[in-house]
Structure 1
Amino acid sequence: MIKNYFKTTWRNLVKSKGYSAINIGGLTVGMAVAMLIGLWVYDELTFNTYHKNYDRIAQVMQHANFNGKIVTQNANPALMGPELRAKYGNDFKYVVQASWQYSPLLAVGDKRITQGGIYFEEDAPEMLSLHMLKGTRAGLHDPHAILLSASVAEALFGESDPMGKTVTVDRNQEVKVTGVYEDLPNNSTFSKVKVILPWSLWLIQNPWVNDMEKPWGSNFSQTYVQLTEQGDMDNISQKIKTIKSDNVGKEEKQARWVVFLQPMRKWNLYNEFRDGINTGGSIQYVRLFGIIGSFVLLLACINFMNLSTARSEKRAKEVGIHKTVGSHRLQLIGRFFTDSYVTVFFAFLLSLLLVAVFLPAFNEVANKKIELPWLNPLFWGVNLLFIFITGLLAGSYPAFYLSSFQPLKVLKGTFKAGRFASLPRKVLVIIQFTVSVMLIIGTIIVYQQIQHAKNRPVGYSKSGLINLNFEDELRKHFDAFRTELKNSGAIEEMAGCVPITGVWNTNGGFDWEGKDPDLATDFPNNSVSYDFGKTVQWQIKAGRDFSRAMATDSMAFIINESAVKFMGLKDPVGKIIRQRDKSYTIIGVVSDLLQESPYFPARPTLYHLDSYNDMVNLVVKLNPQQPAGQSIRTIEKVWKKYVNDVPFDYSFVDELFASKFNSEERIGKLSSYFAVLAIFISCLGLFGMASFVAEQRTKEIGIRKVLGASVSNLLRLLSKEFILLVTTSCIIAVPIAWYYLSEWLSNYDYRIHISWLVFFAAAVLALVITLLTVGFQAIKAATTNPVKSLRNE
């Protein structure tokens, strides 16, 4: 009997090739999209779970009240770790102090590579549960040790054993390999850490840390902790919240420091704070794509159910014959469910193939390294559950409704489906296009928001600017290096600075005339050299630029317009800004340089002249009169004359600025792809339904043509129902899309205002797509020779 069910199912699929292709094709695409999104969501939700104790690991962070706002930071004083161990040691299994991630130059013989690295205290490998391939997790106890990831060990030593070998770090520090660990997965916060060095070595290299006058006043390191088995994250956060304010002076206390623990499970998905409140982060995209995946899958299921139920009404006579020859109702139910499950299973197999083919491209767009989890029971469990539910929903209508028909009525032709039989299908079509229109609107708004931020004035000229590392040899021979490059014609100007596309340090303790004495301040205070303004072509609004002819400029500030506004200075040039025992004169005001997020206001910023030793970056303005490639080759040649043991590396400032949009652009691209697929699936369903309706009304169309109806009249007749359904979808979709997109845009200070034209354009697009989809079938039916449809009457 089961074998007979499968034969009948196959016969029905082959008999109705068009409907079968639409059914299976739509379901295949929907399942493939849902599977890709599901893998992406799973990758995000399992972020950092590679680390076995991730639910008890946290980063120590701080809230502080600066410039009238509560800001949140993950930078800590170097004394934070020792203080936590001394006062609250019973609450923590491990307390680890760390540097920021950076890119050390590693050398072994003639091999030189640059990889992501970090300085960690010795308990870090145990806390992060590194999988050691050679050596042990205790390898950092030696201050001149180094742990390498497997990929770096292979790059430096090839097939030979690296243990005990010497590696030169940053050209001046020799360390010994004491361990090799497995490369961390892409969905780990530390995935780019390929080299781990001891924190004790960092302290040796930076003796100024132990000589600081106010060691609690400077935040330049990170602190990670692992709680004991009995430790509670919230309770311990309450216990340690005053640890910073208890150790700072009166001036620093104005910031009202609050120390707290941010659990590792929230680092990726809940990493955004506003006014001291955790407002979320990447979790909004997980939810967004979770909803999109569910909707796309829903659209495919709607298509499947719509066409399955529509076609099942044509099988009424088949049911009548089966019952006449003795089939029981349970047998008919089994037959219809077999049809449903075979179709769903076949679509599932095709969707697996699609995912396998498109996963590399999806990874490239999503910046992921996802693989199909063939051995993961959860993956198969979810898919089997989906197959079961979809097959059940799609097969339930024909199985239970059609199997109840009385064979006498069916075979005599007195059976009628009923006036409301098509209502469920109409509701499902409305749901389909409501989702599709919302996705169209969302895609347009995301694109507009990104373009709005990209077109925001940045306050300087990005064109032809490149960044170089400020190596020690260049600090010693800066003027000679600059002169030689200018004489070569490769550059227009060059200056030392901190990276122009980021803020590396901030300072507090500033005072000026009219300042509220209770206001704690914290401004980006950027070190620059002479000619920085000429190099980046910043826009001077008042006063002048730094000048070599003015010796007093060593105690001068140039401030941005946001600083003028924040300080309430009417005529800022010539005014004095004090920082503790030093006084600086404002000599100029410049437009805001957009250094941080393009979606938020520029911070009040100060610029001052400083020694080259305090700068990490060179910014170079290429000569626009010659090709950039030629200029860069000249710069490299001169670079090697002064720095012969460090690879020449550069980056374009406009590319660094563009990278600030990577996250939103990835979301926008993925959303647009999914929107197109959702519309495609909806159109498949609409095409199938239009074809079915046209087939049902074949004789009616023939009679109308015989009576003189024109093609345009018939086209209007067959299309108006679908136009009405899609119009209803637009009316429903617009307010829902407006509400949720307004909520999303509220996360950005610099944002667009949603125009009604977006909704109008989306509605028009949906209607045009509908007309094109339905119109093809309608024209085909309207131009059919009526003799063919009426001759069997």
Structure 2
Amino acid sequence: MLKSYFKSTLRNIAKSKLHSLINITGLSVGMAVALLITLWIWDELSFDTYHEKYDRIAQVIENSAHNNEVHTSKVIPWPLEAALRKDYPNDFKYIVMSSFTDQHVLSASGKNVLFSGNFIGEDAPEMLSLKMEKGQRNALQDASSILISSSVAKALFGDTEPVNQLIQMDNKAIFKVAGVYEDLPVNTTFHKVAFMAPWKFFAGNKDWIGRDPNDWNDNSLFLYVQLSDNADRQKVSEKIKNTKQQNGPPDAKQQSALFLHPMGQWHLYSKFENGVNVGGGIEYVWLFGIIGVFVLLLACINFMNLSTARSEKRAKEVGVRKAIGSLRSQLVTLFFFESVCMAFTALVFALFVVFISLPAFNVLASKKIAIPWDNPILWVWVIGFTLVTGGLSGIYPALYLSSFKPVKALKGTFKAGKLATTPRKVLVTVQFAISVLLIICTIVVFKQIQFAKDRSVGYSRNGLINIEASTGDLHSHFEAIKDELLQNGAIVSMAESSSPTYGINNNRDDVEWKEKDPSQKYTFGSIRTTAEYGKTIGWKVAQGRDFNLQMPTDSDAVIINEAALKYMNLEDPIGHILQFRKRSNTIIGVVKDMVMSSPYEPAKPTLYYLGGRGFDNVIIRINPAASTHESIAKIEKLCKAYAPAVPFSFSFVDQEYQKKFSTEEQIGNLATVFAILAIFISCIGLFGMTSFMAEQRIKEIGVRKVLGASVLDVWALLSKEFVVLVCLSFFIAMPGAYYFMDTWLQHYTYKTELAWWIFAATGIGTLLISLITVSFQSIKAALANPVKSLRTE
């Protein structure tokens, strides 16, 4: 029986080469899109599963009430670790303190390289189940040891044995390599951690910590835990909720609640609003999952339409089979078998498309996805997916074609009739409605990105560069470097800061002022600078003045932004006293808000003040009258002269600012590709339908031409039906697109409008594309010789 079905399928494909090609092309493109999206979703869902105990690992996070709003912060005060160890010893297997993942200069064997890493607790390698290539996981118990990744070992030591070698960090501390671990994969939170240095060393060296280990107000560190095997996360989270209030000083107790955020949710459920988790990346997983289903559905609709459109040609075949005893169930099985064979043929092409397009897809999505060819789960899923696709594509044609009456079919009196075309019209309308929906969504995403990019940032990014000062060398020679660069004309200004202009690295909630509501907790961005900071970045002073080197009192001065002014509700801020840093600080100026964090959110209330220990960033304004390339070369030369052990590395501030849009741009780019493929699939289906209609009505067209019909008349005859369907699909898709995108835009404080031209442009563009598709076959049929058409049987 199967052999007979297989022969019938081959004969049918050979008999209708064009329609078979269109069917297979549509299915293969739809399946390729679905497979790519599946690989992307799998990569997202498997984030952090590299760590064996990821389901037991969590991060301690704080909810705190600020000015009648609840804010969620991942950074915690240092004393919290000791409090958790003391009060809940049976609930945690590991409690791990960690610094930020920062770049440091690692020097060994005459080489100096920049790598990112953490100072982290001794249990971290075990908690994160590092795969050790050499050495032991417990090496961080020794305050003089360090664990390095395979990449660091290769960069510093090449083929030399790295274990027991010495590494100097930032031209200061020296560590012994106690182990080498496998590079962490990209789809892990810690993938940038190329080395792990001992927390014991960090905690015991004042030059490194730069903070008071007993300060409950200084939220600047991370705390990770692994729950005990018998501990319930929800119950433990409830237990530790009031730990800060119970152990901290009075000013640290105000409306603070701790909780555990599980590792399994770090990536896809990272967004909090008013203290409640509202999702995050999971929204995009759902979005692309739905897009994948839609695109595959478009391909299946093509198959259904073209199969049922050819119903009159297969009517006699059905009649003969029924006349010689075939049951309807056998015919249904035959047509299902044909569609499944088509689906498996399309699968071969789809896998090829996925294979050759995956590198470009990885670039577009900023991923490193590989096809797991040796994974049996993949093949089980692919085969099941293909069977479902084939079954979905063939269900309507199988039921429709097998329902023909044999007598009418054999007499040649069978006609599909107008009602038979209704389902096809519905399916075409659904196809283009989905395509229109995707196009509108894509345009809105890019319009929102451009809207945020056009927002005033409050300072001048052009010609501004940032150098991360991983060692103290640049700080020690700051004045000498600045003077020489000013003299040679490479720069116009230069400053130091604890944060780059495109981010705020530190916060503080110990700020007091006379009018402060004691029942509320307030958190401010905290940025230490040198006096030239404002001049260098070009901020705009709204009230008061900038810092002045000639005024000694500015060592206790503070400048606030307009967001902080509004936050504190001060009418006349100049001369006001703020208490923080265990001293009084006088407000000397108010600057316009600057976009330093998310460009989609309001500016954060921020304090700028002078002094403190070494700075982490050197900010330079390049001379606009000089060559940028030559100026960078002069800066590099001087930096290498004064800090020879530090690899020269810099970033343009405008480029770093553009990175803030990377997630939205990736989503927009992927959506664009999928929207183009959706309209392509819809159009090839339209092409197939038009070609079949032209073939079916060839004699009618011949008669009309003989009677005087023009090419335009014939084109209108074949096109008008599809034009009506495309217009109908637009009006169906428009309300849904408006609702979905309006809901999406509500996630942003600064958001674009849903302008009328987006819908108009989409409708007109879709109509033109469909007309071009239909016109090719319509005009070809209209130009055919009517004599030849009328002679054709």
Identify the TM-score tier after normalising by the shorter chain: over 0.9
Deviates more, 1:599-608 or 1:6-15: 6-15
Matches within 5 A, 1:577-616: 577-579=578-580, 582-611=583-612, 613-616=613-616
Q: CA deviation at 1:608?
A: 1.4
Matches within 5 A, 1:216-295: 216-254=216-254, 256-295=255-294
Q: CA deviation at 1:375?
A: 2.0
Change (3 A) 1:218 1:576: closer
2:451 alignment partner in structure 1: 452
Matches within 5 A, 1:100-115: 100-115=100-115
Q: CA deviation at 1:684?
A: 0.8
1:533 alignment partner in structure 2: 534
In 2, Cα distance between equivalents of 1:633 and 1:216? 45
Deviates more, 1:739-748 or 1:303-312: 303-312
Deviates more, 1:86-95 or 1:262-271: 86-95
The 8 Å contact of residues 216 and 247 in structure 1, kept in 2 or not, is answered as no
2:774 alignment partner in structure 1: 774
Q: CA deviation at 1:129?
A: 1.4
SS at match of 1:245: helix
The 8 Å contact of residues 495 and 618 in structure 1, kept in 2 or not, is answered as yes
SS at match of 1:106: strand
Deviates more, 1:205-214 or 1:654-663: 205-214
The 8 Å contact of residues 202 and 209 in structure 2, kept in 1 or not, is answered as no
Give TM-score, length-normalised by structure 2. Answer: 0.96
The 8 Å contact of residues 475 and 615 in structure 2, kept in 1 or not, is answered as no
SS at match of 2:712: helix
Q: CA deviation at 1:288?
A: 0.7
* 1:561-611 CA-partner distances (Å, limit 9, x unpaired): 222233333343333334486333322222111110000000222211214
Please give the root-mean-square deviation of Cα atoms over the aligned residues, in Å: 2.0
| Counterpart code for 2:92 | F
| Counterpart code for 1:200 | K
1:517 alignment partner in structure 2: 518
In 2, Cα distance between equivalents of 1:754 and 1:330? 51
The 8 Å contact of residues 122 and 139 in structure 1, kept in 2 or not, is answered as yes
SS at match of 1:95: strand
SS at match of 1:115: strand
In 2, Cα distance between equivalents of 1:164 and 1:615? 32
| Counterpart code for 1:354 | V
1:660 alignment partner in structure 2: 660
In 1, Cα distance between equivalents of 2:776 and 2:653? 51
In 1, Cα distance between equivalents of 2:792 and 2:209? 97
* 1:15-34 CA-partner distances (Å, limit 9, x unpaired): 32221221111111111111
The 8 Å contact of residues 107 and 645 in structure 2, kept in 1 or not, is answered as no
1:624 alignment partner in structure 2: 624
The 8 Å contact of residues 143 and 201 in structure 1, kept in 2 or not, is answered as yes
Deviates more, 1:728-737 or 1:260-269: 728-737
The 8 Å contact of residues 547 and 553 in structure 1, kept in 2 or not, is answered as yes
In 1, Cα distance between equivalents of 2:500 and 2:684? 51
In 2, Cα distance between equivalents of 1:208 and 1:353? 53
1:68 alignment partner in structure 2: 68
| Counterpart code for 2:257 | V
Change (3 A) 1:309 1:116: same
SS at match of 1:587: strand
Deviates more, 1:319-328 or 1:432-441: 319-328
In 2, Cα distance between equivalents of 1:150 and 1:483? 41
| Counterpart code for 2:118 | I
Deviates more, 1:19-28 or 1:129-138: 129-138
Change (3 A) 1:169 1:744: same
1:344 alignment partner in structure 2: 343
The 8 Å contact of residues 209 and 215 in structure 1, kept in 2 or not, is answered as no
Q: CA deviation at 1:237?
A: 0.7
Deviates more, 1:503-512 or 1:593-602: 503-512
The 8 Å contact of residues 496 and 529 in structure 1, kept in 2 or not, is answered as yes
1:436 alignment partner in structure 2: 435
The 8 Å contact of residues 269 and 280 in structure 1, kept in 2 or not, is answered as yes
Q: CA deviation at 1:423?
A: 1.5
2:709 alignment partner in structure 1: 709
Matches within 5 A, 1:181-580: 181-206=181-206, 212=212, 214-254=214-254, 256-324=255-323, 332-470=331-469, 471-497=471-497, 498-579=499-580
In 1, Cα distance between equivalents of 2:765 and 2:129? 53
SS at match of 2:466: strand
Give TM-score, length-normalised by structure 1. Answer: 0.96
Deviates more, 1:338-347 or 1:358-367: 338-347
Q: CA deviation at 1:210?
A: 11
SS at match of 2:246: coil
| Counterpart code for 1:537 | G
1:151 alignment partner in structure 2: 151
Deviates more, 1:734-743 or 1:553-562: 553-562
The 8 Å contact of residues 311 and 416 in structure 2, kept in 1 or not, is answered as no
| Counterpart code for 2:198 | P
In 2, Cα distance between equivalents of 1:792 and 1:26? 30
2:42 alignment partner in structure 1: 42
Change (3 A) 1:210 1:623: closer
In 1, Cα distance between equivalents of 2:409 and 2:10? 24
The 8 Å contact of residues 244 and 252 in structure 2, kept in 1 or not, is answered as no
Change (3 A) 1:643 1:207: closer
Change (3 A) 1:262 1:507: same
* 1:668-722 CA-partner distances (Å, limit 9, x unpaired): 1111111111110111111111222222222222222233333323322222211
SS at match of 2:267: coil
Q: CA deviation at 1:278?
A: 0.8
Change (3 A) 1:590 1:50: same
Change (3 A) 1:782 1:675: same
In 1, Cα distance between equivalents of 2:221 and 2:733? 49
* 1:277-312 CA-partner distances (Å, limit 9, x unpaired): 111111111111111111111111111221122224
In 2, Cα distance between equivalents of 1:197 and 1:53? 22
Change (3 A) 1:420 1:181: same
Q: CA deviation at 1:326?
A: 6.0
Q: CA deviation at 1:505?
A: 1.2
The 8 Å contact of residues 434 and 732 in structure 1, kept in 2 or not, is answered as yes
| Counterpart code for 1:13 | I
Segments of 5+ residues of structure 2 without an aligned counterpart are: none
| Counterpart code for 2:527 | N
The 8 Å contact of residues 217 and 509 in structure 2, kept in 1 or not, is answered as no
Runs of 4+ in 1 over 6 A off after TM superposition: 207-211
Change (3 A) 1:93 1:578: closer
Q: CA deviation at 1:667?
A: 0.7
Q: CA deviation at 1:261?
A: 0.1
In 1, Cα distance between equivalents of 2:359 and 2:792? 55
In 2, Cα distance between equivalents of 1:436 and 1:344? 22
The 8 Å contact of residues 502 and 596 in structure 2, kept in 1 or not, is answered as yes
Matches within 5 A, 1:69-148: 69-148=69-148
SS at match of 1:103: strand
| Counterpart code for 2:430 | I
Q: CA deviation at 1:213?
A: 8.1
Q: CA deviation at 1:81?
A: 2.2
| Counterpart code for 1:721 | E
Deviates more, 1:477-486 or 1:35-44: 477-486
In 2, Cα distance between equivalents of 1:212 and 1:565? 30
SS at match of 2:187: coil
SS at match of 2:77: coil
The 8 Å contact of residues 309 and 394 in structure 1, kept in 2 or not, is answered as no
In 2, Cα distance between equivalents of 1:78 and 1:415? 83
Change (3 A) 1:745 1:656: same
| Counterpart code for 1:521 | Y
In 2, Cα distance between equivalents of 1:570 and 1:121? 46
Deviates more, 1:51-60 or 1:399-408: 399-408
In 1, Cα distance between equivalents of 2:397 and 2:745? 45
Q: What is the number of equivalent residue pairs in this alignment?
A: 791
SS at match of 1:615: coil
* 1:624-682 CA-partner distances (Å, limit 9, x unpaired): 11211110111111112211111111111111111111111111111111111111011
